[in-house]
Structure 1
Amino acid sequence: MKKLAVTLIIFISALIAGQVHAQAFQQGDKLLNLGLGLNSYYSGGVPFGASFEVGIDDDLSVGANVDYLSTSNYGYRFTALYFGGRGSYHFNRILNIKDEKFDLYAGAGLGYRSFSWADSYAGISIDAYGSGIYLGAHLGAKYYFSDTTGAFAELGAVGSTNARIGVGFKLK
């Protein structure tokens, strides 16, 4: 399943990619990331996540994120939903990275996570299974294949996973 997801993301990126004239991160950029977790903190499932950020200057972006995971095994179902705000510092200028296709960033997030668990054999359903506020952190890199499309990878506490890969877009 994971190999299929990675192959699909790479294939879609290659189809969308056009001429390479991308610029490094800058003020006003609207960034959308769609990705899959490479693992899960919980007992199975493939986490799906999305984030959207807007560049407030040439180094900082702020926005929101959402992460969803659902798994079902042996009569039980577990669902995790994370949503909140996030901010990132883009290191290209301070580290003097000249490659206009590459964006290196790190940041933090704060939000709410909601867990639910159900056991169909025992007839038990719990909606607040450890739900509450979460603090996350991420280190990421994005490589643009065109002005608007690239691939990204993030490590850290990024929802229900600690590693995510996917497709990133600059929206006009």
Structure 2
Amino acid sequence: MKNGLLILTCLITSFMSAQSFSGKDDQKLQIGANFQDNVNGIVITYDYGLGENISVGLVTGYALNLNNGLEADFDNRIDLKARFNANLGNVLNISDNFDVYPGINLGLKNFGGHLGMRYFFSDGFGIFSEFGTTFAKYKSGRLSPAEKIHNQFTANIGAVFNL
């Protein structure tokens, strides 16, 4: 009984000491699932803290599962973006474990924005969700169904790690 209580106390303490964004030199790696209209895939992001509430990073995604007869080549399935985030977790002061980060991104296919949320269970591990949209596409006119991959509303969910 005493050992169980000790373990529970340690777990609660570790959950409470997690920090979602620590500012300058903070590094995050996110790996998750990407959901789009007619497409499911994977997404990987890396963010690096430049200041108390600012981070920059890279995001890449690859469309694995194409639905409804959609066919796409490698160049339509993959995307790479540079991104800028405003980490607002400490501004909102909801919890040290929680971060909200709106941002903009510039990629191979478009200029867009995103809104993400992270919650850390410990110093090194948490979950994230992120929603993104396109503000301006590089290719004007009508896009083929394959060209719409990574050029539409996206939703991501997965694991986040402190590096």
Same fold (TM > 0.5) = yes
| Structure 2 unaligned blocks of 5 or more | 1-12, 135-148
- Give distance in 2, aligned partners of 1:100 and 1:89: 16
- The answer as to 2:107 corresponding to 1:111 is yes
- Give distance in 2, aligned partners of 1:106 and 1:153: 12
Give the letter aligned to residue 28 of structure 1.
D
Describe the SS at the equivalent of 1:93. helix
Name the residue aligned to 2:114: 138
Do the aligned residues in 1 keep the contact of 2:27 with 2:162 (CA within 8 Å)? Answer: yes
Q: Which has the higher helix share?
A: 2
Deviation readout 1:1-21 (Å, 9 max, x if unpaired) = xxxxxxxxxxxxxxxxx9322
Deviation readout 1:122-141 (Å, 9 max, x if unpaired) = xxxxxxxxxxx311211111
Q: Any residues of structure 2 matched to 1:66-77 within 5 Å, and which?
A: 66-71=60-65, 77=71
Deviation readout 1:27-62 (Å, 9 max, x if unpaired) = 21101111112x323x3x312111101000110000
Cα RMSD after superposing both structures: 2.4
TM-score by length of 2: 0.70
Give the letter aligned to residue 27 of structure 2.
K
- The answer as to 2:146 corresponding to 1:170 is no
Do the aligned residues in 1 keep the contact of 2:42 with 2:64 (CA within 8 Å)? Answer: no
**Alpha-carbon distance, 1:163 to partner:** 1.0
Give the letter aligned to residue 169 of structure 1.
F
Name the residue aligned to 1:130: none
Do the aligned residues in 2 keep the contact of 1:71 with 1:78 (CA within 8 Å)? Answer: no
- The answer as to 2:11 corresponding to 1:19 is no
Do the aligned residues in 1 keep the contact of 2:90 with 2:96 (CA within 8 Å)? Answer: no
Q: Any residues of structure 2 matched to 1:55-66 within 5 Å, and which?
A: 55-66=49-60
Paired residue total:
130
**Alpha-carbon distance, 1:73 to partner:** 6.5
Residue of 69, 79, 90 corresponding to 1:93: 90
**Alpha-carbon distance, 1:76 to partner:** 6.3
Give the letter aligned to residue 123 of structure 2.
D
Do the aligned residues in 2 keep the contact of 1:71 with 1:77 (CA within 8 Å)? Answer: no
| Structure 1 unaligned blocks of 5 or more | 1-17, 113-132
